[in-house]
A and B are shown apart, each in its own frame.
Chain A
Amino acid sequence: MTAVRLPQHADPALEWTGAKRRYDLVKEAVIALVAVSLLTVLLASLFSSPDVKPITVAQWSAAAPKDFLATALSELDGTSGVATYGPPYTHVAGAGQNIVGGVSLERALGVQIPIDTAQAFVLGPLAIPARTSPLIARALAIYEGAPPARQRSWTQAFATAVDKGNVVARVRAHRTLYGPVPAMMAELLAMARSGALDGALISTDRFYQTNFTKALLFLSDGSYLENTAAKQNLLGSQWGMMNETGNYPGQAWLWLYTFWYQIPPFSTSANADAQVWAIMGALSLAFVCVPFIPGVRSLPRYVPLYRLIWRDYYRREASA
């Protein structure tokens, strides 16, 4: 393929000394603003915007109590997604995605948002009713006073029981096998259903709160959030977060980022996020540096779209 031969022009860095035409920039800007404003109002009137209510822990625990209890137990015994996540949330040896080989920016930066899942999601919230309930205070004291192996045997036995059976019956199960865990879980479930856990997960020692990290991490460890997202076609395998609820365009500009997750090896890679971000970082840098990349910067000369854009000019040049 060869470049199309065209009339030679002066150095494009020099000020244009050829013919000019009247061009009212201010008028163009005003017309554009009015047109875009009207078009936006029209689109907003016709299509509105999505606003699906957020999921609450109260809603989750009422709709899927087994999932809620299984998640709470995994937070308590340190087997949940967040507990085993590694940086920036938890100290887990070797955890964190690698860009290539053993290179991990996640690990290099370390734990910057520390989360103790047992304390943050179970023990801390239960300490609130424990102030007025001797039963819960005693259950917490027994649990926290037991050796880790004993705690694990209780939570694992109870998790198995929850997985198999009726939730309400299981939370009142046998004390020898499950220790204080049924009492703790029954109280946590009651807190969740009443909405108290929603508040407890965002409360700190200060009055005003704007940080929902703990509450969102807890929700994301369960299956209920993901199942709800799947019904809205929002999973990563469904082009993920570039979509939004309902029939709206969403963040269509993220198509290239989301695209990588749809194809191998990224669709099955345990390090997909780190790899996709590395690729997008490199592509973004290349995009910014287009004027300096040999080959890429010459592409417009081989694609005759510019002839369409400047067709009047070329016609005038040809006739002259």
Chain B
Amino acid sequence: MSAPTWTGRVRTRGLAAFPPERLLPDTQPVYVASWIYVFGVLTLAAFVVILASGGVLALAGPAWWHTSSVGHFFNSIHLWSTELFFFFMVVHLWGKFFMAAWRGRRALTWITGAVSFLVSIATAFTGYLTQQNFDSQWIGTQAKDGLNASGIGAFFNVLNFGQMLMWHIVLLPLVVALLIGGHILLVRRRGVVPPL
């Protein structure tokens, strides 16, 4: 018998942690019956709309939306989906807090969610910096003092449009997507926390 491959080990461990019925179950415990559960999937849906509208804005470059009514409309979609994303996420977060959803070896699920929230704030912030309008000028020149005082400003220059654009459209969304993906897998792995 040949030696087990890395691929085979990953498949074996993946299937052990996430058998299909756990990864995509079509039943849930009876206590999963409240509107509060909807806010997690609403957050995810808003994130998809953000990525899609951001993708459309990226097609013609960062200045397109200033000169095109279609571009401006997609910028508006990008803005409002971000507002909804944070609204849904905050309601989801408070709901999970009052359910003490970290119980039963679910602390990492809480941590990935909390870090997602913080990284999302940074992602939205860099979006405001790269709008190339008066808001960007003002927010950048104001925010630099806090970031400089924390030491972050020495390497994360909010007045450098190119640097902020890269963080906004590549690095931070990738981190948020990975965190959200890990968060969802942890929810599937551990299941929905039972009542107190």
- Report which A residues bind B (CB closer than 8 A): 6, 9-16, 18-26, 28-29, 32-33, 35-37, 39-41, 43-45, 47-55, 87-88, 96-97, 99, 105-106, 108-110, 112-113, 210-213, 216-217, 219-220, 225, 228-229, 232, 234, 236, 240-241, 244-245, 248-249, 251-254, 271, 273-274, 276-278, 281, 284, 287-292, 297, 299-301, 303, 305-306, 309-314, 316
5 A-B pairs whose Cβ atoms sit less than 8 Å apart in the complex = A6-B195, A22-B26, A33-B49, A210-B163, A217-B159
**Interface positions of B from 66 to 120, Cβ below 8 Å from A:** 66, 72-73, 75-81, 83-84, 86, 90, 95, 97-100, 102-107, 110-111, 114-115, 118
The answer on a CB contact under 8 Å between B72 and A88 is no
With A9-B196, A43-B80, A108-B151 already in contact, 4 other A-B pairs whose C-beta atoms are closer than 8 Å: A25-B24, A32-B38, A97-B148, A300-B99
| Stretch touching chain A among B10-18, B135-143, B168-176 | B135-143
The answer on a CB contact under 8 Å between A310 and B34 is yes
Q: Which B residues are in CB contact (< 8 Å) with A43? A: 76, 80, 83-84
Q: Render B44-65 as a binary contact track against A, CB cut-off 8 A, 1 for contact.
A: 1110110001000000000001
The answer on a CB contact under 8 Å between A21 and B28 is yes
Given contacts A113-B154, A290-B97, contact A18 B160 (CB under 8 A): no
Q: Which A residues are in CB contact (< 8 Å) with B195? A: 6, 9, 306, 310, 313-314
Q: Smallest distance from the beta carbon of A106 to chain B beta carbons, Å? A: 6
Considering the chains assembled together, what is the distance between the CA atoms of A32 and B81 in angstroms?
Answer: 13
Instruction: With CB as the reference atom, state the residue of chain B lying closest to A276.
Output: B146
Given contacts A40-B77, A211-B161, A251-B125, contact A18 B135 (CB under 8 A): no
A-B pair number, CB within 8 angstroms: 280
B20 contacts A by Cβ under 8 Å: no
Given contacts A212-B159, A213-B160, contact A273 B77 (CB under 8 A): no
If over half of A's interface residues share one DSSP class (helix, strand or loop), that class is named, otherwise mixed; here it is helix
Q: Smallest distance from the beta carbon of A232 to chain B beta carbons, Å? A: 8
Considering the chains assembled together, what is the distance between the CA atoms of A10 and B31 in angstroms?
Answer: 14
Instruction: With CB as the reference atom, state the residue of chain B lying closest to A314.
Output: B195
Which one, A36, A211, A241, A291, contacts B45 given CB within 8 A?
A: A36
Considering the chains assembled together, what is the distance between the CA atoms of A36 and B73 in angstroms?
Answer: 16
